[in-house]
Structure 1
C-alpha cells in the first residue's frame, strides 16, 4: 500500500455526553460514513484508507451526544460515487440529508435524482485545484445555475485566507455557499489576525457564505482539546453571521495525526464559543433546518 493510501485510525469509541443540555432537533452538519468497502469501494488514487465505519456506529455516537439530525458529506475516497451517502440517507429520510459530488458531466436527470434521494448540496474542492471537478470558476458558476431551482447549495473546501478569488466567487455564484473548518485558516498561519481571514469576516458581515464549526483540530496548533488558539476565530464568525453558522462533528476524523478527539469534547467546544443557549439553539437546530430543509 502506498503512503498516499495509509490507513486511518478509528474514532474514539467512548464519547462522553456534553456538559450542556442539547436542544431537541440538534444537528450534526458534517460527518462521513465508510464501508463495507466491498459494497462501497474506494477510488485507487485516494489519499487515505478508512476502516469500515457504517452509519450505525455514527448514530450510536449521536445517541450519546443527544443529536437527532445528520448531514452526511460524501468523502473524497468515494470519488464521484455518492451511493454510500444516498443509501444512508434513505434509511432515515426524516432526519438525514446529504452533500454529494457533482461534475460538469452530471445531467439534470441525475441532479433531480439526487434531490429525491435527500441530497441538498454539492461539495467542491478548492484547496487542491487538481481535484476541482470544474474547469474554472466560470464553469462552477454555470453549475450553480443548474442546481439553483433544486434548492441546493455549494459546500466549499477552501483556505479562505489564501484564495484570491473568494470575493469574486461570492458575488458570482447564485446559490448559497458554505465553508468548513471555520474557514480553514490555521492558527499557526495567523488565525484571526490574518488579513485574509479578516476579509472573510467582512464577507460574512456582508451576507455571503455559511460557516461550519468543524474540525478545530485541523486548524489548531494544539495537539488535543481544548483548542484554545482557535476560540477567537470561532467566536468571530458567530458574531459576524449568527444566522448562517452550523456545527458538525467531522466524524470519524480522518487523517488526524494528533490525539484523536472525543466527540463530546467537540460539542463542549461549541458551548465555549457560543455560551448563550439561544445562540446554540440557532446553530444546532434553526440554521441547519433552513440550509438543509429539515
Structure 2
C-alpha cells in the first residue's frame, strides 16, 4: 500500500492465452475497462484504489488475442466522473466501442448530449461496500430519470446481499438496467441461495439485463473458475435475449486469483454449446443494446 493509503490493485496477467474457443465475428466484450496511463488520464484524488496502468494499446492487443472486435468500456470509479479515457478510446475505435459513464449530480444537459455523441449509452452506480457503498438514492433516481429521454440504461454493481434490499427499487426502474457480474453471488452458497433466486426472478423482467462475467469474482474453487458455470447457465436460460458477456479486464480489486482472459473466453462454450445462443450473447444482444455502427467481419 502506498504512503497515500490508497490500495494498489494487482496487475492483469500479461501472458494472455489464445483461447481454444473462437468467438463469432463481431463478438463483443461487454464489460471491460481502460486505466490511464495515469500521466495522460489522471486517476481521481478520492479514489478507493489505484490500478496499474492498462491503456488502450494493451486492450487492443488483448482483443486481438481473444478474437474479439467490439467492446463496451465501463468507466471505473478510479477515474471518478472524468470520462475522457473511454471517450477517446471510443473515438479511435471506428464504431467498434461503446461506453458506460460515471456522472455526478451536477452533470449538465449539454454534457449528457456530449457523452451521447461520444458513444456513451449508459451510466453506472456502485453499491459495493468496498467501493463506497449505496449511493445517494435521491441523486440516483434523478439521474435515472434524466437519462431516460436519451434511451440509455443504468448499470448496477451490487454485492449479493444488496439484491435482497433493493428488489423493490429494481422493479420500479423506468429504464433498462444491467446487473454486473451475476450479482456477485458466491458459488459456495449454491444455486438455491436467496440472492441468486432474486437475481433470476429479476432477470425475468423485460428491462433487466444480466452480465455473465465475473466468474473469477464469484468462484470459490479458483482457476479455471468452472464452478461459476451453473450460475451463468441459469442466468442465460432465464434471459437469453438480455444476457451479455465480458472479461472485466484488467480485473480491478481481485483479491485472490488473477484470471487469464483466455481461460475466461474458454468458459463461453461451457455456458452454452449452442452456436446460435453464443452468437446471441456475444454479437446480437450487445448490438441491440448499444447500436454499434461498425460491421461484423
**Same-fold status (TM-score > 0.5):** yes
The residue aligned with 2:16 is 15
1:286 correspondence with 2:280: no
The residue aligned with 1:182 is 182
Determine the C-alpha separation between the residues in 1 that align with 2:290 and 2:5: 33
Q: Conserved in 2, the CA contact under 8 Å of 1:181 and 1:214? A: yes
Q: Conserved in 1, the CA contact under 8 Å of 2:200 and 2:235? A: yes
Give the SS at the match of 2:34. Answer: coil
Determine the C-alpha separation between the residues in 2 that align with 1:93 and 1:67: 15
Determine the C-alpha separation between the residues in 1 that align with 2:51 and 2:121: 25
- For structure 2, the residue ranges without an aligned partner over 5 or more in a row are 293-297
Determine the C-alpha separation between the residues in 2 that align with 1:12 and 1:91: 25
Structure 1 residue 62, shift from structure 2 partner = 0.6
1:153 correspondence with 2:153: yes
Determine the C-alpha separation between the residues in 2 that align with 1:272 and 1:74: 29
How many residue pairs align between the two structures? 291
Determine the C-alpha separation between the residues in 2 that align with 1:232 and 1:130: 28
C-alpha distance after superposition, 1:28-52 (max 9, x if no partner): 0111111221221112332322222
Structure 1 residue 67, shift from structure 2 partner = 0.3
Give the SS at the match of 1:72. Answer: strand
- For structure 1, the residue ranges without an aligned partner over 5 or more in a row are none
The farther-off stretch of 203-212 and 91-100 is: 203-212
CA separation of 1:52/1:127 partners in 2, compared to 1, >3 Å: closer, same or farther? Answer: closer
The farther-off stretch of 262-271 and 45-54 is: 45-54
Determine the C-alpha separation between the residues in 2 that align with 1:184 and 1:23: 27
The farther-off stretch of 207-216 and 21-30 is: 207-216
Structure 1 residue 165, shift from structure 2 partner = 4.0
The residue aligned with 1:106 is 107
What TM-score, normalized by structure 2, do the two folds share?
0.91
Q: Conserved in 1, the CA contact under 8 Å of 2:226 and 2:267? A: no
CA separation of 1:262/1:134 partners in 2, compared to 1, >3 Å: closer, same or farther? Answer: closer
Determine the C-alpha separation between the residues in 2 that align with 1:244 and 1:182: 13
Give the SS at the match of 2:191. Answer: helix
Give the SS at the match of 1:163. Answer: helix
Determine the C-alpha separation between the residues in 2 that align with 1:74 and 1:101: 6
Determine the C-alpha separation between the residues in 2 that align with 1:105 and 1:165: 27
Determine the C-alpha separation between the residues in 2 that align with 1:124 and 1:257: 21
Determine the C-alpha separation between the residues in 2 that align with 1:72 and 1:115: 14
The match for 1:238 among 236, 239, 255 is 236
Structure 1 residue 14, shift from structure 2 partner = 2.1
